[in-house]
């Protein structure tokens, strides 16, 4: 498994939101926004993209990977497609429910006959076992749950070392590294960390995991828990200030983070870093944190992909050029773009045999590493009989700065540490 602490944070945070809000059927019918092939051309290659667009978390929460993948395929088709064949993208909104997700899977696999799924971003990936049984490669999905560490033929954007024989991880346990905590301790001298959570089961459970990892790295840990329905963030902010916290992590949603930041500004809590995750690595920070200028400029994000602001890098510049018309940019868009590129490289390897599910899956299952032209920290897929106890893990780090946006901190391929792997149950 190659799930970093940041990746695990996204997974549990989004599960928290799903648990808090419940699930529902899609508000809109499944989408089939296919781009028709020009007359006289070869039959298009059909792929599916499942996103929880109308989930109770909100429309903007899960659309980034979809938009990035669609932008890649649009540009690819404008340049002639794959071997002269266009890529026909079938979109499906699962509504953030397990029922809707299974319906999307059946429609795309059985009716639309897609070769692969790309950039899946589902609040409840209930159809994962169906995808696996059908032998359909699912490429570059976001690991919101444990599916990508459970089933064969599923290849999440961060890789996996787990056996993937139908049980999550190793005997139901997944492992996450402590590289994020090691980074802030070693590079920025952080020693006291506050972990803020809701009094809600998933949030509290993840907060315990974060605290466990922090303690493994030698931090003094301060835990702050607020009521989910009526959170008193001001009291939590005042206490973390009194305790001298120089690092703040959380198991909160975006709205909760914004309120916590405002409370920290109100009480004068100044920290080395308020750490957020890849889902909140977006260009909307000024609006999201408009009432917290001090905390906003202490925001740090960590992940496993190159900062979407790094336009000096040619691969990032290509992504930004292709997505120039989008109203906002995000790290999840870049990762969706990388997922679509991954599928394209897999499909190009099938020139002799034809682009089939089996051929694409064989490319994906070859091991790796894969970087999407340098956009990803090298991704690998292996099947280890035993979980790793330690691992050398690298991370991408950026800090928000008003007027400059997300500023990269060091190179993601050299921000690397040998860290323990902490067990947890999804």
Say if CB 330 and CB 281 are below 8 A apart.
yes
Q: Contact at 8 Å (CB) between 393 and 409?
A: no
The pair of three-digit structure tokens given for residue 113, joined into one six-digit string: 């006959």
Residue 256 has pLDDT above 70, yes or no: yes
Q: How far apart are the first and last CA of the chain?
A: 14
Position 3 scores a pLDDT of 52
Predicted local distance difference test score (pLDDT) of residue 41:
53
- The pLDDT tens digits for 226-237 are 999 999 999 999
Answer yes or no: is pLDDT of 255 > 50.
yes
- The closest alpha carbon to 341, from 76, 108, 77, 121, belongs to 76
CB-CB contact of 121 with 51 (8 Å):
yes
Exposed e or buried b per residue across 66-105, where buried means at least 16 C-beta atoms within 10 angstroms of its C-beta:
bbbbbbbbbbbbeeebbeebbbbbbbbbbbbbbbbbbbbb
Q: Mean pLDDT score of the chain, rounded to an integer?
A: 91
Query: Exposure string (b/e) for 367-386, b if CB count within 10 Å is 16 or more?
Result: eeebbbbbbbbebebeeeee
Cα 356 to the center of its chain, rounded Å: 27
Separation CA 160–CA 163 (nearest Å): 9
Query: How does residue 40 score in pLDDT terms, banded at 50, 70 and 90?
Result: very low
Using the Cα atoms of residue 326, residue 327, residue 331 and residue 333 in order, give the sign of their dihedral: negative
Return the pLDDT at 37. Answer: 40
What pLDDT sits at residue 263?
Answer: 98
Residue 278: CA atoms inside 13 Å, Cβ hemisphere, count?
Answer: 34
Contact yes or no for 57/96 (Cβ under 8 A): yes
Q: For the whole model, what pTM was predicted?
A: 0.91
Is it the case that residue 363 has pLDDT exceeding 50? yes
Region 138-155 average pLDDT: 96
* Residue 291's pLDDT band (cuts 50, 70, 90): very high
Q: Residue 274: in which H helix or E strand, if any? A: strand 273-276
Tens digit of each residue's pLDDT (9 = 90 or more) over 260-282: 999 999 999 999 999 988 988 99
pLDDT of residue 29: 38
d(CA 274, CA 259): 13
Give the residue, 413 or 28, on which the prediction is more confident. Answer: 413
Query: Residues 198-225: pLDDT tens digits?
Result: 999 888 988 999 999 999 999 999 999 9
Q: State the SS3 of 83-110.
A: CCECEEEEEEECCCCHHHHHHHHHHHHH
Are the C-beta atoms of 338 and 374 separated by less than 8 Å?
Answer: no
Q: Is the dihedral of CA 260, 261, 267, 273 positive or negative?
A: positive
φ and ψ at 377, to 5 degrees?
A: -60, 135
What is the per-residue pLDDT for 158?
96
Q: For residue range 69-126, what is the model confidence (pLDDT) as tens digits?
A: 999 999 999 999 999 999 999 999 999 999 999 999 999 999 999 999 999 999 999 9
């Amino acid at each position: 498994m190659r799930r970093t602490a940041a990746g695990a944070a996204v997974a549990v945070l989004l599960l928290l939101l799903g648990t808090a809000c419940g699930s529902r059927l899609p508000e809109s019918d499944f989408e089939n926004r296919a781009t028709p092939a020009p007359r006289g051309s070869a039959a298009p290659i059909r792929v599916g993209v499942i996103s929880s667009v109308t989930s109770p978390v909100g429309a903007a929460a899960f659309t980034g990977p979809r938009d990035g993948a669609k932008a890649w395929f649009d540009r690819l088709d404008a340049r002639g497609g794959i071997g002269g064949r266009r890529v026909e993208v079938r979109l499906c909104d699962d509504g953030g429910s397990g029922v809707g997700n299974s319906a999307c899977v059946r429609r795309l696999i059985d009716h639309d006959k897609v070769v692969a799924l790309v950039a899946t971003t589902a609040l409840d990936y209930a159809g994962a076992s169906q995808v696996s049984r059908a032998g359909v490669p699912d490429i570059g999905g976001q690991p919101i749950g444990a599916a990508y560490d459970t089933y064969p033929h599923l290849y999440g954007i961060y890789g996996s070392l787990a056996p993937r024989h139908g049980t999550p991880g190793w005997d139901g346990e997944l492992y996450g590294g402590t590289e994020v905590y090691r980074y802030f301790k070693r590079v920025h001298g952080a020693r006291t960390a506050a972990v803020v959570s809701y009094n809600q089961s998933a949030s509290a459970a993840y907060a315990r995991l974060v605290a466990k990892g922090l303690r493994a790295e030698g931090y003094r840990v301060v835990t702050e828990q607020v009521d989910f329905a009526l959170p008193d963030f001001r009291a939590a902010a005042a206490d973390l200030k009194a305790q001298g916290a120089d690092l703040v992590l959380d198991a909160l949603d975006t709205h909760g983070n914004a309120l916590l930041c405002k409370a920290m500004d109100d009480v004068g809590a100044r920290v080395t870093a308020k750490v957020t995750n890849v889902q909140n690595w977006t260009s909307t920070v000024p609006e999201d944190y408009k009432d917290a200028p001090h905390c906003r400029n202490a925001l740090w994000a960590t992940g496993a992909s190159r900062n979407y602001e790094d336009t000096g890098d040619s691969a990032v510049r290509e992504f930004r050029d292709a997505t120039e018309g989008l109203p906002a940019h995000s790290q999840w868009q870049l990762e969706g773009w990388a997922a679509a590129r991954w599928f394209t490289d897999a499909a190009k390897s099938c020139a002799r045999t034809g682009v089939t599910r089996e051929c694409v899956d064989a490319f994906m299952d070859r091991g790796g590493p894969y970087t999407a032209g340098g956009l990803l920290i090298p991704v690998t897929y292996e099947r280890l009989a035993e979980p790793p106890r330690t691992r050398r893990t690298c991370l991408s780090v950026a800090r928000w700065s008003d007027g400059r946006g997300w500023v990269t901190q060091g190179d993601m391929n050299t921000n690397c540490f040998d860290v323990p792997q902490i067990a947890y149950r999804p």
